[in-house]
Structure 1
Amino acid sequence: MTSILRLDTRTGLLTSFALAAAAAGLAALPALASHGLGWLPLAIVLGMVVGNLWPSLAQSGSHGLALARGTLMRAGIVLYGLKLSFADLSSVGWQGLALACVIVTSTLLLARLLGRRLGLEPSLALLIGAGSAICGAAAVAAADGVLGARARQVASAVAAVVICGTLAMYLMPLLMPLTGLSGADFGLWIGLTVHELGHVVAAAAMVGPDAASTALVEKMLRVMLLAPAVLWIALQAGQRRTGNGARIEVPAFLWFFLAVLVLNLTGLVPEALRQPGALLADALLASGLAALGMLTRIADIRAAGTKVWVLALLLWSYLLVAGFGLVKWLA
């Protein structure tokens, strides 16, 4: 039995690593990069393709795939705190941080409310809310770390936020002449509204260099709020499971993520460690999402129904309107 488990673990891990590497190679292709298709969304897509074409491979490596989706993905979330430095915050100031807090908080609360009205399971609504409010697939993965949602729910949430982010990437540059915003303010709007980091970079690049700088920093401010947002999601999940009066255990990886983030913001992490650490974070997240894709069946996503897409589109519409209103007010 021990040898079988070892083979099962090895098969699943090697498969997830290979798919993550393939996703990285595809994300580097100009044809895909220009469409904002980053490493993480491509990893889950490749995993779903392989898992649905060769389900026996997913079954034979199930233990390793579970390890990649669980422990390795949580390690990637911890290292994700290396992606934001204190120097990044200076270009938008405290106003940019305040706007990010308003957008992230209101989007999560709206996701919970609309999800309840649409009849969605609370965990699925929170997954979509996290991906919309913060940073797409990476935020969905982080939220799943405390929710323990079913694979089809996570895959549905990732698909919905990535597609909405792709639509935003193409639509927002077309709106530039109609808004009356400066390049820097328009970049602020992009950073507040668009889901995936790759989509933010691509959309802002279509507008100009002023937009690119503010968009990226504002987006990273939203990323910085991943820790408190996932902590809130953990509290919501704990209340549903144990009741309001019970003690709620917060997963240790959230505290590690917050510690890494704070340490990085102080500037104590050398650049020689920060960049490789950030790259390793993406690699671990991509491996976990690839494993998640392997465990997901297309039929399960179809079973999620149109309510998933309705919620994702409603949240995106809210981000567009609320983000524009906040930027106009600040300008």
Structure 2
Amino acid sequence: MSVRGFVPGVLATAAATACAYAVAALVPALNPTSVAVLLGALVTNVGLNRPFLRLGTQLAARHFLRVAVVLLGLQLSVPQLLHLGGLGLAVVVVTVGLTFTGTRLLGRWFGVPPARSLLIATGFSICGASAVAAMEPVADGDEQDTSTAIALVTLCGSLAIVALPLLRQPLGLDAASFGSWVGASVHDIGQTVATADRVPGALTAAVVVKLTRVILLAPMVAGVALVRRHRSPDTARARIRPPVPLFVAGFLLAVAIASLNAVSPATLSVAKDVQGTLLVAALFALGTGIHLPTLLRTGGRSLALALTSWVLIAGVAYAGVRLAGL
């Protein structure tokens, strides 16, 4: 395939990424990732996603997002786990485990296809679109499953930016506890920061808890992959696939590098900016896979699952924060 075939779609993705950042700058309540998904869906549903753009947008959707996942690892380190302490780590692990397992069980009850249920469970329990991207090769779903999961996790994460600060006082949370609750329950890192930033003094706790939660991404993907290989050891796909997607291994390598302080603060800052930009670009590209007529025909049960999962993780995280005194 000629490189030229990718250029129009990549250029369109770059333009949409710039537009998403511009809209978010003009409307502080909006997050660039949320705007990007909406722009992608808009482009498709008004008929602007022409065939000559699709090679480039597919490249962005798959590979940009995977590079963003790897770079995300540089924002994490093992000392962050130690800083959180045993009780804090227990809250994170229990919240992630109950949300993932509960969402999978609810998915069966709602009749959501298994691959889509798995992607939704991963996105809601760990870190939104990045987690969906990490689990996608293991889930064996189609493009609609991936784009639907990302649309739903983006929707609920955006709602959290508005809803959770309003619940802080009725739930009796001080700033630090609110930050821990946000870090344990909001999906995407950008959405976590945007939510916690609305309450002075909450941001540090939110980021520490959230990044600790993200570290569980690799073990979760690896665990699901190994279980699936064990259940179908004789299939050709099981034989040729590595037990963990290579970019997830890259994510773990990046965590190890960050833990060793092997990268300068200036380089880490650049990597963080690049990671954020690639994530926004990838989410625009994935948004172009959201075809509303199809989503409306098949997405009612998925939406019900997503909203239930959102309530589940918020409730479990709140109980954990109050019991652990975080």
User: By how many angstroms is 1:148 displaced?
Assistant: 5.1
Give the Cα separation in 1 of the matches to 2:16 and 2:58. 15
User: Which residue number in structure 2 is paired with residue 228 of structure 1?
Assistant: 219
- One-letter amino acid matched to 1:108: F
User: Which residue number in structure 1 is paired with residue 14 of structure 2?
Assistant: 17
User: By how many angstroms is 1:214 displaced?
Assistant: 0.7
SS state at 1:179 partner: coil
Worse overlay, 223-232 or 123-132: 223-232
Give the Cα separation in 2 of the matches to 1:80 and 1:123. 24
- One-letter amino acid matched to 2:220: A
Match of 1:78 among 46, 56, 70: 70
Q: Is the 8 A contact 2:60 2:281 kept in 1?
A: yes
User: Which residue number in structure 1 is paired with residue 203 of structure 2?
Assistant: 212
- One-letter amino acid matched to 1:220: L
User: By how many angstroms is 1:255 displaced?
Assistant: 0.7
Give the Cα separation in 2 of the matches to 1:256 and 1:154. 21
Q: Is the 8 A contact 1:41 1:158 kept in 2?
A: no
Q: Is the 8 A contact 1:131 1:137 kept in 2?
A: yes
Give the Cα separation in 2 of the matches to 1:38 and 1:88. 25
Counting only pairs closer than 5 Å after superposition, residues 105-144 of structure 1 correspond to structure 2 as 105-144=97-136
Q: Is the 8 A contact 2:70 2:250 kept in 1?
A: yes
User: Judging changes above 3 Å, is the alpha-carbon distance between structure 1 residues 321 and 262 closer, same or farther for their aligned structure 2 residues?
Assistant: same
Q: Is the 8 A contact 2:116 2:146 kept in 1?
A: yes
- One-letter amino acid matched to 1:75: V
User: Judging changes above 3 Å, is the alpha-carbon distance between structure 1 residues 99 and 164 closer, same or farther for their aligned structure 2 residues?
Assistant: same
User: By how many angstroms is 1:100 displaced?
Assistant: 1.4
Give the Cα separation in 1 of the matches to 2:267 and 2:187. 27
User: Which residue number in structure 1 is paired with residue 284 of structure 2?
Assistant: 290
SS state at 1:81 partner: helix
Whether 1:192 and 2:189 are equivalent positions in the alignment is no
User: Which residue number in structure 2 is paired with residue 153 of structure 1?
Assistant: 145
User: Which residue number in structure 2 is paired with residue 47 of structure 1?
Assistant: 40
Worse overlay, 71-80 or 241-250: 241-250
Q: Is the 8 A contact 2:100 2:121 kept in 1?
A: yes
SS state at 1:303 partner: helix
User: Which residue number in structure 2 is paired with residue 99 of structure 1?
Assistant: 91
Give the Cα separation in 1 of the matches to 2:306 and 2:152. 6
Whether 1:274 and 2:265 are equivalent positions in the alignment is no
Whether 1:316 and 2:304 are equivalent positions in the alignment is no
Give the Cα separation in 2 of the matches to 1:65 and 1:174. 37
- One-letter amino acid matched to 1:313: L
SS state at 2:112 partner: coil
- One-letter amino acid matched to 1:79: L
User: Judging changes above 3 Å, is the alpha-carbon distance between structure 1 residues 149 and 26 closer, same or farther for their aligned structure 2 residues?
Assistant: farther
Give the Cα separation in 1 of the matches to 2:273 and 2:229. 32
User: By how many angstroms is 1:20 displaced?
Assistant: 1.8
- One-letter amino acid matched to 2:218: A
Number of residue pairs the alignment of both structures matches: 322
Worse overlay, 178-187 or 213-222: 178-187
Alpha-carbon displacement from aligned partner over 1:26-76 (angstroms, at most 9, x marks no partner) = 2233x2x3x2x3222222221221223234x43112222222222232122
User: Judging changes above 3 Å, is the alpha-carbon distance between structure 1 residues 314 and 147 closer, same or farther for their aligned structure 2 residues?
Assistant: same
Match of 1:26 among 23, 32, 41: 23
Give the Cα separation in 2 of the matches to 1:90 and 1:299. 48
User: Which residue number in structure 1 is paired with residue 301 of structure 2?
Assistant: 307
User: Which residue number in structure 1 is paired with residue 162 of structure 2?
Assistant: 170
Structure 1 unaligned blocks of 5 or more: none
TM-score, normalised to structure 1's length? Answer: 0.87
TM-score, normalised to structure 2's length? Answer: 0.88
Give the Cα separation in 2 of the matches to 1:313 and 1:221. 24
User: Judging changes above 3 Å, is the alpha-carbon distance between structure 1 residues 303 and 234 closer, same or farther for their aligned structure 2 residues?
Assistant: farther
Q: Is the 8 A contact 2:95 2:320 kept in 1?
A: no
Give the Cα separation in 2 of the matches to 1:252 and 1:19. 28
Worse overlay, 17-26 or 230-239: 230-239
User: Judging changes above 3 Å, is the alpha-carbon distance between structure 1 residues 70 and 174 closer, same or farther for their aligned structure 2 residues?
Assistant: closer
Worse overlay, 222-231 or 115-124: 222-231
Q: Is the 8 A contact 1:40 1:138 kept in 2?
A: no
Q: Is the 8 A contact 2:37 2:286 kept in 1?
A: yes
Give the Cα separation in 2 of the matches to 1:132 and 1:315. 7
